[in-house]
Amino acid sequence: MAFHALLIMFHSLVSILVWLQLAAAVLVPITGTKPGCKDKCGNVNIPYPFGIGEGCFIGDWFNVTCNDTFSPHKPFYGFIEILDISVLEGEMKLNASIATSCDENDGTSWVRLAKFTFSETRNKFIAIGCNTIGYFGGTKNESYFSGCLSLCNSINDVTDGSCEGIGCCETSIEKGLMRYDVTARGFYNRSTNYSFSPCSYAFVAEENWFKFHRSDIKEFNNGKNDVPVVIEWTVGNEACDEAKKNSKSYGCGSNTNCYEPGNAPGYRCKCKDGYKGNPYLTGIGSCQDVDECKTLDPDPCRGLSAYICINTEGGYNCTCPSPYRAQTRNDGSVDCGKPDDQLNKIIIATASGFVFLLVSSSWLYWVFRNKKLIKLKEKFFLQNGGLILQQLLKREEAVDESTTAKIFTAEELNKATKHYDESRILGKGGYGTVYKGILSNKNVVAIKKSNIVDRTQIEQFINEVVVLSQINHRNVVKLLGCCLETEVPLLVYEFVTNGTLFQHLHDHENRASSLSWDSRLRIAVEVAESLSYLHSSASIPIIHRDVKSSNVLLDNNYTAKVSDFGASRLVPVDQTQLTTLVQGTVGYLDPEYFHTGQLTEKSDVYSFGVLLAELLTGKMALSLERSEDERNLAKYFLSSIKDDRLFQILDDNLVSEWSIKKQQLKEVADLTKRCLRVKGEKRPTMKEVVMVLDGLRRSSKDPWIIEVEPNNNIEEMMHLLGDTQLESNAESSTGGYVTMDSQVMPTSLLNSGR
């Protein structure tokens, strides 16, 4: 009997090895071409619907040229080299050029696709070099523009593997792009630049391919001018149901399913379950039945100790051979066997022992793994300053329990986001990702998951969490708490439902709305009040440092809430300015702060001035789609006001209100001009800005309020206010900072890359 048992176990082991070999064969990429057509060009497979030569491809978009002047030969899609084609994923990998600038001239590169689109999930836009701006523009249904900023003063500033704005920056690309233009630009005199960073580079590349190294800023990609980029392809221009109506042009073969990926017009094909092959072919190489009895691992009939696996078209059946028959065991499972069969008992006993060992080992693994996870959470909690935060929160609870931040557990936030499911993503950026979370008490929150944290600034981060959680203003997004049990701390904010001001002003495809002037003025007042509160009324003054329309959230009542304090700085009471690493968004960045590095509250005033110009004109702060004179909104606005052309640059949605709101619009334009003054000391404080805007708003509600005469300017009105004005000495901050980026919108502005 022992011999029989050993024989059965040996037979099972051999079967497992055979199945593993067959399973490995299943992983081979799908190939297959039409009869008489080349299946490879050099070392690259060219599967149908792509093909080389007439009659070998499904349509002109799938025509591949094999260049035999190379050794080995190289395939090309138009003028771009093909690196790989995947039928299963519906993707093609191309070799795209890099934009390089090593002098005062911009470096450019571009790619145009007739039908296919660039994968927004597989690619990233990247810029490399010290003092480098990378621009990225493209089109789908309308123009799209984005980019990032990279800064550094020496090679010691740069860290391997970090592409967060020091020597390297990156950002995501928009879904559905069919073309793009890339520009690399160095913004300081190249002749005075350091030898360690002689050039600026910008490109779109496959995300998994790229890993930043310090040596890249001196010579990227070993001097090669190409990087891999992934595109997604579809067949035809119709949806599946429409395509099936024309059997002659329908691209899917037999035993297939048609599906629509949604990234571009058209459809893709895949073999039905139980079939394998090229779903676009008919006949040889098409989707053929898979013999599951021979190829599946584990064995599809493994629950039966003595069985016959019978393959069927698209499936299989498990039957008991004679004289065996199906039996129900005491535990309810089904097996093949004969009553009182001794061999069957041995097999059952062996199987039971194996199952016991498997369950025992699994249980032990789970216990040790759980202990390891608990220790890891404790390590991260201590590493991220958990003990310091607990002490500070206890101290704050004694003063006011209602404003105390909560420390969330990793498990609590994991459940709230459905294990950080992609469907819960609210936005992505260079710093991290924001998820929508639903807590156990049904409260909806926004959870910020950053990419990286500076370990040297943990104590400063903890202090900022405590201070920001105490901010209680109706126009400031509330910080509810954080989680320190993960490698990078998670921040939890209140959830605001109606998108951003940027979307309502500029995203004409999805969210843009016709905001009236009264609504815009109210939003401006609310944003100004929140900034004034941060500068002078908070327990510790705070400079936001990244005021822009995409950081102003709107609720269902269109009430404004200022968000994203990732770039903000706390201001010590004994200081008024501080030299910091320049951080912010191009187009909104205070020029005085950019050139001197001296951060004051007037930097927020300048950014708010750009936001006012957006509300008046409906134009983005920076756009390469506009002419050079109009590219920078602040510069264009000041020039237009100087030439008395306010009406000509007014948002189309406000033109109809000009006759009624003319004086009010002019006074806001004059205030905008004062906020945009180059020297910060000549700009008003946010408290003064609130007085002007709130006065204008009240005058529109209560006509009996005396208005400023047309020939009186805003500065004269400020002089008349006299002692009611308060000067804020909260102009800067010290210490470290916690990085938090903006949510990426459908049409992103330039991000600093930090």
**Rounded CA gap, 722 and 450, in Å?**
46
**Rounded CA gap, 93 and 116, in Å?**
12
Last residue of a domain, which of 232, 250, 272? 232
Once rounded to an integer, what is the mean pLDDT over residues 181-189? 86
Q: Which residue has the higher pLDDT, 511 or 178?
A: 178
Evaluate the omega torsion of the peptide bond into residue 298 and state whether it is cis, within 30 degrees of 0. Answer: yes
Whether residues 548 and 472 fall in one domain: no
Is residue 580 in a domain? yes
pLDDT at 28 over 60: no
Q: Letter for the amino acid at 128?
A: I
Residue bearing tokens 């520009």: 183
Residue bearing tokens 């502005």: 749
Residues pairing with 230 in the sheet = 93
pLDDT of residue 677: 96
Please give the mean pLDDT across all residues of the chain: 81
Q: Which residue has the higher pLDDT, 571 or 118?
A: 118
Is residue 259 in a domain? no
Winning range, highest mean pLDDT, from 405-414, 654-663, 688-697: 688-697
Whether residues 205 and 300 fall in one domain: no
Last residue of a domain, which of 337, 369, 393? 337
Q: Which residues contact 10 (CB under 8 A, 6 or more apart)?
A: none
pLDDT of residue 679: 94
58-66: long-range pairs with CB below 8 Å, 24+:
58/235, 58/251, 58/280, 59/235, 59/236, 61/114, 61/115, 61/116, 61/233, 62/233, 66/38, 66/41, 66/42
Give the DSSP H/E element, type plus range, for residue 270: strand 268-271
Q: Which residue has the higher pLDDT, 466 or 101?
A: 101
Once rounded to an integer, what is the mean pLDDT over residues 508-513? 67
> Is 604 assigned a catalytic role?
no
pLDDT at 745 over 60: no
Winning range, highest mean pLDDT, from 2-6, 724-728, 737-741: 2-6
Whether residues 214 and 299 fall in one domain: no
Q: What is the pLDDT of residues 594-609, one digit of tens each?
A: 998 888 999 999 999 9
pLDDT of residue 255: 93
184-198 burial: b if 16+ Cβ within 10 Å, else e: bbbeeebeebeebbb
- pLDDT-derived band at 510 (thresholds 50, 70, 90) equals low
pLDDT of residue 465: 80
pLDDT of residue 731: 32
Once rounded to an integer, what is the mean pLDDT over residues 725-746? 31
Is residue 607 in a domain? yes
- CB contact at 8 A, 308 and 316: no
The β-bridge relationship of strands 200-206 and 432-438 is unpaired
Last residue of a domain, which of 457, 474, 494? 494
Residue bearing tokens 């006011």: 400
Q: For the chain, how long is the longest CA-to-CA vector?
A: 111
Tokens of 313: 């078209």
Q: Is 140 annotated as a binding residue?
A: no
pLDDT of residue 11: 42
Whether residues 317 and 227 fall in one domain: no
For the domain that residue 128 is a member of, what is the CATH number?
2.60.120
For the domain that residue 464 is a member of, what is the CATH number?
3.30.200.20
**Rounded CA gap, 202 and 53, in Å?**
35
CA dihedral 426, 427, 432, 437 (to 10 degrees): 0
- CB contact at 8 A, 612 and 548: no
- CB contact at 8 A, 269 and 277: no
- CB contact at 8 A, 623 and 747: no
Q: What is the DSSP letter of 357?
A: H
Whether residues 99 and 213 fall in one domain: yes
Residue 380 has, within 13 A of its CA and on its CB side, a CA count of 17
pLDDT at 139 over 50: yes
- pLDDT-derived band at 23 (thresholds 50, 70, 90) equals very low
Is residue 733 in a domain? no
Once rounded to an integer, what is the mean pLDDT over residues 461-478? 83
pLDDT of residue 570: 57
pLDDT of residue 541: 84
Whether residues 544 and 682 fall in one domain: yes
Whether residues 399 and 327 fall in one domain: no
Q: What is the pLDDT of residues 539-570, one digit of tens each?
A: 778 888 889 998 999 999 999 999 877 545 55
**Rounded CA gap, 589 and 568, in Å?**
13
Once rounded to an integer, what is the mean pLDDT over residues 667-677? 97
For the domain that residue 303 is a member of, what is the CATH number?
2.10.25
How many CB atoms neighbour CB 283 within 10 A?
9
Whether residues 672 and 534 fall in one domain: yes
- pLDDT-derived band at 327 (thresholds 50, 70, 90) equals low
DSSP alpha helices (H): ranges in 676-745? 686-701, 714-721
380-386: long-range pairs with CB below 8 Å, 24+:
380/484, 380/485, 380/486, 380/487, 381/484, 381/485, 383/455, 383/458, 384/453, 384/458, 384/484, 384/489, 385/458, 385/459, 385/461, 385/462, 385/484, 386/484
Whether residues 541 and 632 fall in one domain: yes
pLDDT at 750 over 50: no
Whether residues 108 and 162 fall in one domain: yes
Whether residues 515 and 646 fall in one domain: yes
pLDDT of residue 469: 81
For the domain that residue 536 is a member of, what is the CATH number?
1.10.510.10
Is residue 588 in a domain? yes
Is residue 364 in a domain? no
Once rounded to an integer, what is the mean pLDDT over residues 586-598? 91
pLDDT of residue 26: 42
Cα angle, residue 37 at apex, residues 36 and 41 outer, rounded to 5°: 145
- From the candidates 216, 335, 546, 590, give the one annotated as an active-site residue: 546
Is residue 180 in a domain? yes
High-pLDDT (> 90) share of the chain, %: 47
pLDDT of residue 1: 43
- CB contact at 8 A, 252 and 269: yes
Strands (E), 90-194: 91-97, 99-101, 107-112, 117-118, 123-128, 132-139, 143-150, 168-171, 179-186
- pLDDT-derived band at 746 (thresholds 50, 70, 90) equals very low
Per mean pLDDT, which range of 284-298, 615-629, 714-728 is the poorest? Answer: 714-728
Whether residues 185 and 304 fall in one domain: no
pLDDT at 341 over 70: no
Q: Which residues contact 218 (CB under 8 A, 6 or more apart)?
A: 195, 196, 197, 198
Tell me the whole-structure pTM to 2 decimals.
Answer: 0.49
How many CB atoms neighbour CB 8 within 10 A?
16
pLDDT of residue 712: 43
Tokens of 179: 């073309």
Q: How far from chain centre, in Å, is Cα 196?
A: 31
- CB contact at 8 A, 125 and 170: yes
Phi, psi of 92 (to 5 degrees): -140, 135
High-pLDDT (> 70) share of the chain, %: 78
The β-bridge relationship of strands 552-554 and 560-562 is antiparallel
For helices 686-701 and 517-532, the axis angle rounded to 10 degrees is 150
- CB contact at 8 A, 573 and 512: no
pLDDT of residue 540: 78
Give the structural domain span for 141.
91-232
pLDDT at 145 over 90: no
Q: Which residues contact 67 (CB under 8 A, 6 or more apart)?
A: 73, 74, 75, 76
Domain count, the chain: 4
Is residue 249 in a domain? no
pLDDT at 571 over 70: no
Once rounded to an integer, what is the mean pLDDT over residues 303-311? 68
